[in-house]
Structure 1
Amino acid sequence: MDKPPEYQQGAWRFRLLGRFSVGVGGEAVSIRSRLHQALLAGLLAHPNQVVPADDLIDTIWQRRPKNASNSLHVLVKRLRAALGDPDRVRAEPGGYRIVVAEHELDLLEFTALLERAKQATDPLTERDLLAEALSLWGDGPTPPPLREEDRGRLEELRLGALSRRIALDLETGREAEAISELRRLTQRHPLREGLWAQLMRALHQSGSQAEALAVYAEARAVLADELGVEPGAELRELHAAALAADGAPAWEPVCQLPARTDDFVGREDTVARLERLLEPADTARVVVVWGQPGVGKSTLAVQAAHRLRESYPDGQWFAALHDRQAGRTSAHELLEQLLLASGLPAGQIPAQTGARSAALRARLADRRVLLVLDDAGQAAQVAPALPGTGGCAVLVTSRRSLLDLPGAQRLRIEPLRRDSGVQLLSRMIGAERVEAERAHAEELVRLCGALPLALRIAGARLSLRPEAPLSALAQRLCDERTRLDELAVEGMEVRASLSLTYQGLSPLAQKALRCTVLLPRTGFSPCALGAVTDGSDGERLVEALTANALLEPRGVDDTGAARYRTHDLVALYARDLATDDDLEPGLRGLLDLLLARGEEVYREASRWTEELPPYQAPGAMPARLDLPPLRSPEAWARSERDLLLAAIDQACAAGWHADAARLADLVIPALHLSGGFDQLAAARQRIAEAARAAGDELVAWRADYGRAEASLAEDVSESERTFVACAEAFDRLGAATELVYSLTGVAFCRLMRNEPDLETAERAVRIAATGEDRIAYCTASRTLAQTLQQHGRIREAVWILKKTTQEAAKLHVRSLTAGLYRELARAALLLGDIDAAASACLDAAPLLSGNPHDEAWLLQLRSRVETAQGRYADAATTARRSHGIFTELGDRRAAASSLIWLADALWHSGDHTEAVTLARQARDALAAMGSTILAPEAERILARASQSA
């Protein structure tokens, strides 16, 4: 179109391709408004044509404005003003049109050059015209102001011209220049088969047949993944041509698997599962076998691969990805190994990693090959070697889970079972030798953590000295300080294997592993790991260590929290690495967490226990942490029992006895519910020793008091001696509350020994009456009432119990109130009022929910009531339940006392033989523990038996 006369004086230039701009007379015209730019671009995309108003509105605004037509009209007026030319944009029926000449708009120049190229009579002229047209685009894409529809139309014009120009390059011998351009284009436009075909053709013409095959494999994988289709006819023909010209030798199946070991044991189920996971399928099978160092991953993989040989007749390849001297094999090196295994000559292996990967996929296409990639360090090391088509399988072994390896199934390998560990030793050193020292062989398996690497080292050492007993090596391994030193022989070493995994961790994960030495090997929560490491919730730390097989999942605890543990040998390795810089702040963080949680536990426990109030060091402030509340503090304490006792012990060793004492006072009342009184007594003893070493008498004697309470389940006489010593010390120190509890303990122990001490019981009540601790007062009053009952002053005891029950009810301590109801029931039985005794038991029952120890005491009392009611079978059943609970809790004294009342019920029901046996057993057990209060009941049964005889 000829340029209108009114535009002859200025030289306008509109650029729409590549970079959007407007200029006149060589000077840029500034159009800053995005709306103006979008309007102008929308008009220029259809030069000299009427563009409908609705299309322009959609181009300019993402959301259509109110009165859109008016808004568009105003915008056109402003664009005309910005251009300084009112006739450039003209209003037409239904829309607007921009008037431009060919030399003013690059799009018109581009289309004109394309038309001239079509008319060209020789390839070189056509190629040059297309190159000139494409040069108008520069390096950038079509500008953003255009609609998606317009951008796509212009891009198709550009790609069509580009494809034709490249085709002419290939026709005119310029394939070398085209290859690099085509590589960029196939990456930018991976779904255009024509570009892939041109790249294959360029490589084929340049003699790079292996690379052409690699390109085909890559194109095939992209089309399958994105579109779910196979390559078209042109690509398939080029593939066939490349294969024909490749010159690669015919396929020869190769087996590179190492030999199977004769001493493979204990993994039959795992091997069978691997066989199922690796069965040939429509897609390539990828399985990651992972686990901690030395767990036997490589041996297992080789065993499974041999069994799968028939399923993969085209070859079974093996590549070791780590060497102690050479280090890690790179993906680039691995691909070279595998291409060589495929039969590709070394001279035809591509230089680039990507090309090697594609070439391998091409070689494996439609084959059935099993790849075993041993000891992968990371997913990136093996991902380029994964086949792109079905029929093949890859078995990867790794110390890590390789979660980022696409499409892989994962199988974590655990240490052997004990019997399998013994079997492995038998195969290494002989079954006769193992059977001769079976117990020591099992101990060796335990000390080696049932880890195959450690057991192989032990077996190797034993095989060197056939005369040496297994017990000698077991004894050497018992010392945890040197166990890892012992588990090393020539090329095998547990520590070196662990070090390789440790070095691959992040610095924070390394610190977390070192800090696990502060946590019990029986298991811990993520929160505990976070507390000793960096104060976090520990979830990411657990993930990092678990992903590297340095933590073992242990299910969930009673609170629903996940639990983890370190394998024994990993724990010893972590202890070797840990420094004071790790342990002191880690322990401080752990204690702060446990003290904060302990406050919650004690608030819950204070409703059903009447323990000595927790110790608070002068001037000490409780730990304040932003923690979500526990759903069940008692369940948390039960789950964290080992951690709590370990933290108490470590705090004492660090010289923080006051923290240890407070933590014990906060949580041990709850721990009493699950028994294990010897552990609790040992914890109190440790605090006492640490406190005395620091010269803190008050804390030391409080710990002794706690030890005496825990010892009541085993030795009443020892508890009494300790309570007496505590009372003397607290009297001297002026600790009134502690004195009341100690005197009450003395009176209770003497009651158990059937030597009721009314003076001591009354003294405890007098002192408590002047203090502020009303729980101490009620506890002392209950013991006084028990003592009065033993002196025959039952009605006086009942009066005290009723008065004390009223006061205890106001304190909301369920265990205390329930205990007073139980004493009322006992008193009622002594008075012969069976109904009152039964009523008191009913009053006590609702107060004991969640307190198995007190529930068992109530069951014992209910058995006595049922016997008095003549319900002997029910009484026996109830007494057995009581005995079972006490036995499970480890309270031997209470369990023996339940046997007395079981024997009484059985006697009345006519089962005299069992009654006599149980009465004698209970009497002797209680006497051994220094508790003789029930001896008369046992003797009464035995006396009846003698009379009957």
Structure 2
Amino acid sequence: MAKAAWRFRLLGRFSVCADGEPVRIRSRLHQTLLATLLAHPDQVVPADDLVDAIWHRRPKNASNSLHVLVKRLRAALGDPDRVRAEPGGYRIVVAEDELDLLEFTTLLAKAREAGDPAAERALLAEALGLWSDEPVPLPLSEADRRELEELRLTALSRAIALDLEAGRAAEAIPELRRLTQRHPLRESFWAQLMRALHQIGAQAEALAVYAEARAVLAEELGVEPGAELRDLHAAALSGDSSGEWAPVCQLPSRAEDFVGREDVLERLEQLLEPAEAARVVVVWGQPGVGKSTLAVEAAHRLRERYPDGQWFAALYDRHAGRTSAHELLEQLLLASGVPAGQIPAQTGARAAALRARLADRRVLLVLDDVAESAQIAPALPGTGRCAVLVTSRRSLLDLPNARRVRVDPLRGDGGIDLLTRMIGGARIAAERAHAEELVRLCGALPLALRIAGARLSLRPEAPLAALAQRLRDERTRLDELAVEGMEVRASLSLTYRGLSPVAQTALRRTALLPRTGFPAWALGAVTDGGDGDRLVEALTASALLEPRGGDRYRTHDLVALYARDLAAEEDSRPALRRLLDVLLSRGEEVYREAARWTEELQPYQPPGTTPVRLDLPPLECPAGWASAERDLLLAAIDQACSVGWHADAARLADLVIPALHLGGGFDQLAAARQRIAEAARAAGDELVAWRADYGRAEASLAEDVAESERTFVACAEAFDRLGATTELVYSLTGVAFCRMMRNEPDLETAERAVRIAETGEDRIAYCTASRTLAQTLQQHDRVREAMWVLKKTTQEALKLDVPSLTAGLFREMARTALLLGDTEAAASACAEAAPLLSGNPHDEGWLLQLRSRVETAQGRFAEAAATARRSHEIFTDLGDRRAAASSLIWLADALWHGGERTEAAALARQARDALAAMGSTILAPQAEHILNRVGRSA
């Protein structure tokens, strides 16, 4: 078997991959341990240093706790030799191509020895490219984080120095401005920034940088700048000069209700810093996101940096239409002072005249609502230190030498702040919850919020709740978001009309896909049957799709409503058919993998049909694919039900829900089954309806045992009437299981399920029923008989190649052995179950829970508590509240035996109450036993 290819990342972002697939390190403690070892590759890290890095408060037995943590980390990595114990500490073994930090230091060493500036700069660029563009807090001690950051900054400073030596000062200035703000006490960056400004002739800016650096150093350290900064200051003073120009400011007034966007404004100020070459920045985003307001605010803040003028031109008017390049050039020449009678007649001549007028001037041009690059390309300055700030609904990828900044809806409290400025803080404070709902219903889109604020300001006495109520109805929300001069739908329509016909179709078809996000191939499937890459590019370039990371995209909520309205005018069933066929074919792959660890009913196959299998490349990890496409699968099930294809929806659900069950979210799965049941009943298909109800009861077990029991009972009666034998076995087994969970063991129902299953062909159903019978026998104190049933059933299960089923039987054997007082047999059964987990987190959680009980019986109370906590974490992550609460019972038991009785009592009480609320009382006696023991010992 080939050895896994590992990749550890530590430079700005912590991650672990094996063979290109992420390895999930769930626990913060494990992450900190691994990251600390990786920060010192192939070095022995003292145990005390590891303990101090991992725990804020040292545990009572730090050495033992660290040992346990290392052991679990090895298990999580699946590589026992990766972390090695050494005298006094631990060492991680890692190759250079496995760890980005080792690659980084190697590249730095090569750069120092390069001898050639170009080669050294290339090596430094390669080294710095290993760092994440968007660093996140690392699970490291402050000292280790500082050491890594120092390595990066030293390399970055050297790279900038080489750029300045090569005459690339203009390129270095934006980065240096960011660095001086983030590291204001590092004099070397201030010096490099002054040197860069001096090189491009921006002496005034260099003097301003010196003043800022001096103020920072004086305030923070109480010192004057060093010799290098003082020398650069003297050089700037001797070279300062300025030209003459009659400035014209055409900027509209700033919006009084402008809020937020400080990060974007800072970015624009950096990109629009005056330089030798003209700067062009495109601010783009979806309709109504506030691009024009943002551009005007940025332009006002930049006025002093462009003393030769600030010009403004709107390139779209709702009445006059689009402004041509010819017309724009005329406007700009007039702004430059050219008399109307002297403006050339030809477009080319106008462009040449404008470039001549702008040569070596510092003018800021704001060109608002540009539809395409051709509108403004002739007006771009050719030389000088001008800047052009463009707003557009598109990214204008064909605009040469432009930098782009996408504007998103308001974040944080930005929406609330905007409403506050429009209608006053008193109304917001009086109905804060409804104000937040208004922001959500408006998608935090400034245009929508301004419309809402305008409507509220017209009626000062009207409650916010009334408008929120009107906006809740998605069918009419876009109609409500309109007021004189402002309309969300009209703004969206303008962008839609500018799309190509196939892109228009793609936008309409997004109505078939989940708003939470979808992959490009899904958009292709519902549009033209292609891979969707060009479609998402077209819609993303028009800001109608939002990238969600990886190959995933989503539509803004208001764009989604607009697309749905458009889609309502056409028949989308052929598009949905293409998508369903792909999902059903993929579902077959998912189920083939899931069949190894699922104990569900066999997938429904409509009579007279054959399974859908398209010629698609095989999935590398079908279960992982199903998890990634969870929302898409559930949305497709819902869409299929909407158009009357309940049989397809039922089969797709049966194929993929066993895999989706591993990820929790049981309420979603229950809702999907409910939707199928409703659609099937409307079509008169009782079998599919009751199968869907059975699936809903399965999903509801994690939340409400009593409700699941009622549904299982109804299913059993229906399947008995319909003659559906296998479905009847599963339903009776579900009834018996629920009654066992409620501490009301029903031996008659459990035995009936086994009797019916014995005569059927579904041996998985027989084994599942037999396991539930054994559990029921345990509750009737017929423990030895239960063990006999389990041993017999296990022999049958071993022939079926369903690891989850076999593991479950071994767990029951372990549980039964504990009841018989045979701890050794219980531990052996747990060991038999462990290799059969097959990546099923539910199975892992249940086995850990049982192992905790075994460890408590063996007197290993600390290990038992740790094992139970891990089980509880797994079930909590999955959203299985019933299983998580039962893990707390056994954690409390381990803690009580270990002497931590106050915490034990609190957890036992919490678990008992939670289980009671879900209708599961099987462990209530165990909880009461713990509480009684604590009470007696008090």
The answer, yes or no, to whether TM exceeds 0.5 is yes
Structure label with greater radius of gyration: 1
CA distance in 2, matches of 1:924, 1:579: 48
Q: Contact 2:703 / 2:880 at 8 angstroms: preserved in 1?
A: yes
Q: Which moved more, 1:791-800 or 1:402-411?
A: 791-800
Does residue 656 in structure 1 map to residue 650 in structure 2? Answer: no
Does residue 904 in structure 1 map to residue 904 in structure 2? Answer: no
Q: In the alignment, what sits opposite 2:429?
A: 435
Q: Contact 2:584 / 2:613 at 8 angstroms: preserved in 1?
A: no
Aligned counterpart for 1:394 among listed residues 374, 382, 388: 388
Q: Contact 1:418 / 1:446 at 8 angstroms: preserved in 2?
A: no
Q: Contact 1:920 / 1:938 at 8 angstroms: preserved in 2?
A: yes
**Cα shift at 1:849:** 4.1
**Cα shift at 1:516:** 1.2
Cα deviation digits, residues 427-465 of structure 1 (max 9, x gap): 222223322322222222111111111111122222222
Cα deviation digits, residues 853-900 of structure 1 (max 9, x gap): 111111110110011001112212222222232233222222222222
CA distance in 2, matches of 1:253, 1:929: 74
Does residue 338 in structure 1 map to residue 332 in structure 2? Answer: yes
**Cα shift at 1:258:** 1.2
Cα deviation digits, residues 727-758 of structure 1 (max 9, x gap): 22222222222122122212222222333333
Q: Contact 2:804 / 2:838 at 8 angstroms: preserved in 1?
A: no
Q: In the alignment, what sits opposite 1:409?
A: 403
Aligned-residue Cα RMSD (Å) equals 1.9
Q: Any idea what SS the aligned residue of 1:810 has? A: coil
**Cα shift at 1:947:** 4.1
Cα deviation digits, residues 487-531 of structure 1 (max 9, x gap): 111111111111110000011111111111111211111122122
**Cα shift at 1:419:** 0.9
Q: Contact 2:889 / 2:926 at 8 angstroms: preserved in 1?
A: yes
CA distance in 2, matches of 1:712, 1:264: 50
Q: In the alignment, what sits opposite 2:318?
A: 324
CA distance in 2, matches of 1:893, 1:869: 26
Q: Contact 1:515 / 1:582 at 8 angstroms: preserved in 2?
A: no
Q: In the alignment, what sits opposite 1:568?
A: 557
Does residue 865 in structure 1 map to residue 854 in structure 2? Answer: yes
CA distance in 1, matches of 2:491, 2:818: 70
Cα deviation digits, residues 291-313 of structure 1 (max 9, x gap): 01111111111111122222222
Cα deviation digits, residues 608-650 of structure 1 (max 9, x gap): 1111110000122333333222222222222222222222122
Q: In the alignment, what sits opposite 1:624?
A: 613
Q: Contact 2:597 / 2:838 at 8 angstroms: preserved in 1?
A: no
Aligned ranges 1:598-637 → 2 under 5 Å:
598-637=587-626
Does residue 476 in structure 1 map to residue 465 in structure 2? Answer: no
Does residue 593 in structure 1 map to residue 582 in structure 2? Answer: yes
Q: In the alignment, what sits opposite 2:276?
A: 282
**Cα shift at 1:316:** 1.5
Aligned ranges 1:420-569 → 2 under 5 Å:
420-556=414-550, 562-569=551-558
Q: 1:895 to 1:384 in 2, by over 3 A?
A: same
Q: Contact 1:428 / 1:459 at 8 angstroms: preserved in 2?
A: yes
Q: Any idea what SS the aligned residue of 1:581 has? A: coil
**Cα shift at 1:761:** 2.5
Amino acid at match of 1:813: V
**Cα shift at 1:324:** 0.4
Q: 1:466 to 1:851 in 2, by over 3 A?
A: same
Cα deviation digits, residues 55-109 of structure 1 (max 9, x gap): xxxxxxxxxxxxxxxxxxxxxxxxxxxxxxxxxxxxxxxxxxxxxxxxxxxxxxx
Aligned counterpart for 2:802 among listed residues 805, 808, 813: 813
CA distance in 2, matches of 1:863, 1:685: 37
Aligned ranges 1:306-385 → 2 under 5 Å:
306-385=300-379
Tell me the number of residue pairs that the alignment of Structure 1 and Structure 2 aligns: 695
Q: Contact 2:742 / 2:921 at 8 angstroms: preserved in 1?
A: yes
**Cα shift at 1:568:** 1.1
CA distance in 1, matches of 2:497, 2:915: 58
Aligned ranges 1:88-107 → 2 under 5 Å:
none
Q: Any idea what SS the aligned residue of 1:555 has? A: coil
Aligned counterpart for 1:775 among listed residues 744, 748, 764: 764
CA distance in 2, matches of 1:831, 1:459: 71
Q: Contact 2:588 / 2:613 at 8 angstroms: preserved in 1?
A: no
Amino acid at match of 2:532: G
**Cα shift at 1:669:** 0.8
Q: In the alignment, what sits opposite 2:234?
A: none
Amino acid at match of 2:799: K
Q: Which moved more, 1:441-450 or 1:712-721?
A: 712-721
Amino acid at match of 1:534: D
Moved over 3 A (4+): 945-949
Aligned counterpart for 1:677 among listed residues 654, 663, 666: 666
Q: Which moved more, 1:765-774 or 1:680-689?
A: 765-774
TM-score normalised by L of structure 2? 0.72
Q: In the alignment, what sits opposite 2:169?
A: none
Percent identity between the aligned chains? 84
Q: 1:458 to 1:885 in 2, by over 3 A?
A: same
Q: In the alignment, what sits opposite 1:577?
A: 566
CA distance in 2, matches of 1:380, 1:624: 47
Does residue 266 in structure 1 map to residue 260 in structure 2? Answer: yes
Cα deviation digits, residues 899-941 of structure 1 (max 9, x gap): 2212221221223333333333333333333323223322332
Does residue 933 in structure 1 map to residue 927 in structure 2? Answer: no
**Cα shift at 1:577:** 1.3
Amino acid at match of 1:579: A
Q: Any idea what SS the aligned residue of 2:280 has? A: strand
**Cα shift at 1:288:** 0.4
Aligned counterpart for 2:909 among listed residues 908, 917, 920: 920
Q: Contact 1:292 / 1:548 at 8 angstroms: preserved in 2?
A: yes
TM-score normalised by L of structure 1? 0.71
Aligned ranges 1:59-98 → 2 under 5 Å:
none
**Cα shift at 1:366:** 2.0
CA distance in 2, matches of 1:931, 1:436: 42
Q: In the alignment, what sits opposite 1:795?
A: 784
Q: Contact 1:374 / 1:397 at 8 angstroms: preserved in 2?
A: yes
**Cα shift at 1:580:** 5.3
CA distance in 2, matches of 1:471, 1:716: 37
Unmatched tracts of structure 1, length 5 or more: 1-249, 557-561
Cα deviation digits, residues 589-622 of structure 1 (max 9, x gap): 2222221221121112111111111000012233
Q: In the alignment, what sits opposite 2:746?
A: 757
Q: Contact 1:444 / 1:474 at 8 angstroms: preserved in 2?
A: yes
Aligned ranges 1:875-890 → 2 under 5 Å:
875-890=864-879
Q: Which moved more, 1:914-923 or 1:303-312?
A: 914-923
Aligned counterpart for 1:638 among listed residues 617, 622, 627: 627
CA distance in 2, matches of 1:722, 1:436: 44
Amino acid at match of 2:411: R
**Cα shift at 1:946:** 4.7
CA distance in 2, matches of 1:755, 1:478: 45
Q: Contact 1:903 / 1:916 at 8 angstroms: preserved in 2?
A: yes
Q: Contact 1:309 / 1:316 at 8 angstroms: preserved in 2?
A: yes
Q: Contact 1:714 / 1:893 at 8 angstroms: preserved in 2?
A: yes
Amino acid at match of 1:342: S
CA distance in 1, matches of 2:272, 2:933: 75
Q: 1:890 to 1:493 in 2, by over 3 A?
A: same
Q: Which moved more, 1:793-802 or 1:772-781?
A: 793-802
CA distance in 1, matches of 2:392, 2:913: 60
Q: Any idea what SS the aligned residue of 1:351 has? A: coil
CA distance in 2, matches of 1:618, 1:388: 71
